[in-house]
């Protein structure tokens, strides 16, 4: 391909990757644009050949609607017949993105090429399109640096470059994008310091997680008062958490875990009354999450507090208790299996399971949580709450997921009994589950459970007895799924019983 053909091919590539034709299209695109599209068609590969079937240019006197590229797949035009939108998301398109020219479409406002197989570097010429509002090049195979010319896109509101093979640092010029609302740059390989981004006053969502960014979190980030979601986890950030983040009153998500942050957790974080998700674990932080923030969302307190008050314990009926067991199992399953590095909580107890207003369980206090690494299975000091700690940990000091599994079994029994099971744990080792009277296990402050709940309770006792003997990677997930499955089974059986009752009633009539 000659050097003059490549710019035409990129323009065609961009057109090829556009949304379906807009409802207002005029067949007035120039022959030059149409020929550029056809030139690029010959150099693109797509697993879906049907995408290319509309890409033909019949004679002008044929009357065909395909005479204008504005009616081709992926091309949206304005009233003047100028291309303004390009989108071929998730179309298995294969092509090179660098060394192409976008100059033939100066009014282009939307470029959406995500979830394809485009490769090469981000073309600097894309930054000459001053009217761009939305750019999504995510989930491709792009490489190289983010172009310095990115700062020219002064009207840009959304920039998605995640899930590529980009490297280098985040250009300081990105701070010039004053219209930017959403910035997603989690590409695994970006490095260097974080910039202040102080001019991005309209920014609502900032996704920088999963890179190798280093240095301090700029205190000036507290000036981005429109931020709703802030993800900076999975980097190599150091220093303390700026107290200025407490100014972000609209923030609902703040993720800083898996970094190297140190110092105390600023009490100003407690001012974030809109916060719904907060993660600080696996850093070197001291202190605790501000009490004002914790109790804003967990007003019912811990399970230990609830079980010590008869009236509150009675409010925690059997379906709610089953749901709590399922919730804790799901949380531990996530920490053990779904985190990049597995996390062992090491202190699962009724003091560290707190209940929100909807009676959903939240696992709290990661103060002694430990990352599981291949070379660090031993621990130098005893940690945990007596009565919940796996017996062998006291003399082996070997920390594994099974430590949490034992504690979870104790907690599950405590939820059922309404108090710590104590010596009942020992009886499980010497007596078959089927020989244990259910009334010995149940919280006597509640009415007897329905047969359906009783079935789940018996199942949980069996799980607590045998769980560590058959602990596989998916055991906790199985506990959570089984509880949900049993709930579905109850509903199905209830519907069958009702249908039988209705049938008998109709026969009697």
Structural domains of the chain, ranges and CATH numbers in brackets = 80-297 (3.80.10.10), 303-496 (1.10.510.10)
The three-state (H, E, C) secondary structure of 284-307, written as one string: EEECCCCHHHHHHHCCCCEHHHHH
From the number of C-beta atoms within 10 Å of its C-beta (0-12, 13-18, 19+), residue 469 rates as exposed
DSSP-assigned letter for residue 192: E
Rounded Cα distance, 83 and 74, in Å = 10
Q: Within the chain, which residues score under 50 in pLDDT?
A: 1-29, 99, 368, 373-380, 382, 466-475, 477-479, 481, 483-495, 497-499, 502-503, 505-507, 509
Q: Which residues contact 42 (CB under 8 A, 6 or more apart)?
A: none
Phi, psi dihedrals of residue 468, rounded to the nearest 5°: -75, -20
From the number of C-beta atoms within 10 Å of its C-beta (0-12, 13-18, 19+), residue 175 rates as middle
The three-state (H, E, C) secondary structure of 139-164, written as one string: CCEEEECCCHHHHHCCCCCEEECCCC
pLDDT recorded at residue 52: 63
pLDDT recorded at residue 365: 66
Q: For the chain, what's the residue count?
A: 509
Dihedral of the alpha carbons of 196, 202, 205, 207, in degrees to the nearest 10: -30
Provide the token pair at 46: 């797509």
pLDDT recorded at residue 311: 92
- Element housing 497 (H / E): helix 475-508
pLDDT recorded at residue 352: 84
Say how many CA atoms lie within 13 Å of 209 toward its Cβ. 17
pTM of the model: 0.62
- Residue 425 sits at the vertex; the CA angle it makes with 442 and 379, to the nearest 5 degrees, is 130
- Element housing 255 (H / E): strand 253-255
The three-state (H, E, C) secondary structure of 12-70, written as one string: HHHHHCCCCCCCCCCCCCCHHHHHHHHHHHCCCEECCHHHHCCCCCCCHHHCCHHHCHH
Provide the token pair at 270: 């407690």
Rounded Cα distance, 235 and 258, in Å = 7
């Amino acid at each position: 391909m000659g050097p003059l053909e490549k710019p035409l091919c990129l323009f065609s590539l961009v057109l090829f990757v556009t949304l379906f034709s807009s409802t207002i299209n005029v067949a007035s695109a120039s022959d030059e644009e149409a020929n550029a599209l056809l030139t690029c068609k010959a150099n693109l590969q797509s697993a879906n050949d049907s995408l290319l079937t509309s890409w033909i240019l019949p004679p002008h006197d044929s009357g065909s609607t395909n005479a204008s590229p504005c009616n081709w797949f992926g091309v949206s035009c304005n009233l003047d017949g100028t291309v303004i939108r390009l989108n071929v998301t998730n179309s298995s398109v294969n092509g090179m993105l660098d060394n192409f020219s976008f100059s033939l479409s100066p009014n282009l406002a939307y470029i959406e090429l995500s979830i394809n197989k485009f490769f090469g570097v981000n073309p600097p010429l894309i930054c000459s399109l001053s009217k761009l509002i939305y750019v999504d090049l995510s989930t491709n195979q792009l490489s190289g640096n983010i172009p310095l010319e990115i700062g020219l896109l002064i009207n840009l509101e959304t920039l998605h470059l995640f899930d590529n093979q980009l490297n280098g640092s985040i250009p300081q010029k990105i701070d010039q994008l004053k219209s930017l609302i959403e910035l997603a740059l989690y590409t695994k390989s970006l490095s260097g310091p974080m910039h202040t981004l102080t001019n991005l006053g309209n920014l609502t969502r900032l996704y920088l997680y999963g890179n190798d960014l280093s240095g301090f979190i700029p205190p000036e980030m507290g000036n981005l008062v429109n931020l709703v979601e802030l993800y900076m986890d999975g980097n190599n950030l150091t220093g303390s958490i700026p107290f200025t983040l407490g100014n972000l009153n609209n923030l609902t998500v703040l993720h800083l875990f898996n970094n190297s942050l140190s110092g105390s957790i600023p009490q100003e974080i407690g001012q974030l009354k809109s916060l719904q998700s907060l993660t600080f674990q696996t850093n070197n932080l001291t202190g605790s999450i501000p009490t004002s923030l914790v109790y804003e969302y967990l007003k019912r307190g811990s399970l230990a507090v609830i079980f010590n008050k008869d009236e509150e314990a009675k409010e925690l009926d059997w379906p709610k208790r089953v749901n709590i067991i399922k919730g804790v199992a799901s949380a531990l399953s996530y920490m053990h299996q779904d985190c990049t590095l597995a996390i062992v909580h090491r202190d699962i107890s009724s003091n560290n399971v707190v209940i929100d207003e909807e009676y959903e369980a939240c696992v709290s206090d990661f103060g002694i949580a430990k990352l599981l690494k291949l070379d660090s299975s031993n621990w130098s000091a005893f940690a945990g709450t007596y009565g919940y700690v796996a017996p062998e940990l006291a003399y082996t000091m070997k920390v594994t997921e099974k430590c949490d599994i034992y504690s979870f079994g104790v907690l599950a029994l405590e939820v059922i009994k309404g108090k710590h099971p104590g010596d009942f744990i020992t009886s499980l080792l010497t007596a078959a589950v089927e020989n244990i009277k259910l009334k010995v296990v149940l919280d006597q402050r509640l009415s007897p459970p329905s047969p359906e709940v009783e079935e789940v309770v018996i199942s949980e006792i069996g799980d607590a007895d045998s769980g560590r003997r058959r602990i596989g990677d998916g055991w906790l997930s199985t506990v959570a799924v089984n509880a949900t499955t049993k709930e579905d089974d109850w509903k199905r059986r209830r519907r069958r019983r009702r249908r039988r009752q209705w049938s008998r009633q109709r026969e009697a009539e």
